[in-house]
Amino acid sequence: MSGVVVIIGAGQGGLQAAISLRQNGHEGPVILLGDEPGLPYQRPPLSKAYMFDGNEEALALRPESFLAAKQIDYRPATAARAIDRAARQVVTDAGRIAYDHLILATGARNLRPPLPGIERTVDLRTLADARVLRRRLAAPRRFAVIGGGFIGLEFAAVARKLGHEVVLAEAGPRLMARAVSPQMSQDFADMHRALGTDLRLADPVAAVTGEGMVLTSGAVVEADDVLLAAGVRPNTELAEDAGLEAANGIWVDGQLTTADPAISALGDCAAFPDARSGRRVRLESVQAATDHARHIAARLTGGNLPGYAAVPWFWSDQADWKLQIAGLAMPEDRAEQPAPHVVFRFDGHDRLTAVETINGPRIHMKARKAMAAGPVDAAQARDLLS
Ligand SMILES: Cc1cc2nc3c(=O)[nH]c(=O)nc-3n(C[C@H](O)[C@H](O)[C@H](O)COP(=O)(O)OP(=O)(O)OC[C@H]3O[C@@H](n4cnc5c(N)ncnc54)[C@H](O)[C@@H]3O)c2cc1C
């Protein structure tokens, strides 16, 4: 394909798609639309290093000179308002942009539960959010956090390290429940409590007030700031308004193409068939966004490809612990702890579906390699420890 590729969303996946198109020899125009100002940046440091060092330069994914050299037509602060599929055009406030292929890389936004006082909370999704939050870390404060997922916990660890008071409320009975085994949840709960974070599990927030928050149990948590970290919802509206199917993500096939062959979707906004479980999943990770982008670019420049089948992986830094997950476990997958800070997950056929480690990069890398090579049984899984 040698025509115009328009990419909506200039985050981790959108920029990678543009770069990979050029790396694969695409010579036609590549137009990258982002609704945020400034250069495309990475989000992971926002809840980690950036909170300590405030280094915004370190966040940029590529310098402006790189975009110019690669002839990536990056248009910041330019939101796509609509997709006209019949005319193959994207509508922006500055006019219409014609495409031959369109890549949707619109990411996700913070989920806002319909709680009284929710408008009083602060978010941690964008650089603009992170700037606000970081300023508040400058003086001793009491922070309340809604949500015991990765972002809430990473922020809690940072705030404790800087000497602030932190109360974190999680609606469910355990931390990071969507992503890790009960054993890992427990290890992390113990670690955060040892850091001094006041964890309130299985006690959903009922309201946010001028003084902090009130939990369903009736407990009152006094706080100067309440961070909302209760998950995200994918930005699917553009696709849905254009008649494309979406349910927890824009639906794509094993080639990451929507029902319209001229439109692909990737990253946080895309729901794709997981090659191993066969289920439709949506992942929120740098790995998924960038591997999706590489796959789409290879397809657009090279033709026939086997279906997308990259092994998912993820990391989260919380205090001195680096959690790494190789693979993708389904909620019902059995968990086994063969060594401290290592958990194997197995499906109903005793195939390894995920390996969770804390500060175990070697095992993590071996697991990724082994799972990429083919199914791994229980005996082969034990070899990962040696
Ligand atoms: C604080 C934080 C910490 C994280 N830590 C980790 C981590 O440790 N490890 C990890 O793997 N992942 C982490 N993630 C998740 C990771 O950043 C995302 O999964 C990844 O950025 C997804 O890439 P994406 O391209 O799909 O979306 P994004 O990078 O979010 O980019 C989407 C972009 O599209 C823009 N957009 C949306 N609609 C439009 C429109 N209509 N027109 C133009 N532009 C539009 C959005 O504003 C955004 O800039 C973290 C995320 C956050 C917020």
Q: What is the pLDDT of residues 101-114, one digit of tens each?
A: 999 999 999 999 99
Q: Which of 232, 284, 317, 318 to mutate to test the pocket of ligand 1 (most atoms within 8 A of CB)?
A: 284
79 lines ligand 1 (CB under 6 A): yes
Q: Mean pLDDT, to the nearest integer, of 189-203?
A: 98
Counting residues of the chain whose pLDDT is more than 70, the rounded percentage is: 100
Q: Which of 12, 122, 124, 321 to mutate to test the pocket of ligand 1 (most atoms within 8 A of CB)?
A: 12
Domains of the chain plus CATH, in order, are 5-109+232-302 (3.50.50.60), 112-228 (3.50.50.60), 320-383 (no CATH)
Answer yes or no: are the C-beta atoms of 230 and 147 closer than 8 Å. Answer: yes
Q: Is 9 left (phi over 0), alpha (psi -120 to 50) or beta?
A: left
- The residue among 305 and 238 whose pLDDT is bigger is 238
* Ligand 1 geometric centre to CA of 22 (Å): 22
The order of strands in the sheet holding 101-104 is 72-75, 30-33, 5-8, 101-104, 263-265
Which pLDDT band, with edges at 50, 70 and 90, does 357 fall under?
A: very high
13 lines ligand 1 (CB under 6 A): yes
Mean residue pLDDT of the chain comes to 97
Predicted confidence (pLDDT) at residue 378 exceeds the cutoff of 90: yes
What's residue 2's pLDDT?
77
Q: What is the pLDDT of residues 161-192, one digit of tens each?
A: 999 999 999 999 999 999 999 999 999 999 99
Q: Mean pLDDT, to the nearest integer, of 123-138?
A: 97
With residue 146 as reference, give the H or E element that holds it. strand 142-146
Q: What is the pLDDT of residues 244-282, one digit of tens each?
A: 999 999 999 999 999 999 999 999 999 999 999 999 999
Predicted confidence (pLDDT) at residue 303 exceeds the cutoff of 80: no
Q: Mean pLDDT, to the nearest integer, of 38-51?
A: 98
* Ligand 1 geometric centre to CA of 117 (Å): 26
* Ligand 1 geometric centre to CA of 51 (Å): 17
10 Å CB burial of residue 122 (0-12, 13-18, 19+) is: middle
Q: Mean pLDDT, to the nearest integer, of 114-120?
A: 97
Which pLDDT band, with edges at 50, 70 and 90, does 52 fall under?
A: very high
For residues 20 and 308, give the distance between their C-alpha atoms in angstroms, rounded to a whole number: 16
What's residue 304's pLDDT?
84
Residue 171 corresponds to which tokens in the numbers above? Answer: 């609606």
Q: Mean pLDDT, to the nearest integer, of 317-345?
A: 97
238 lines ligand 1 (CB under 6 A): yes
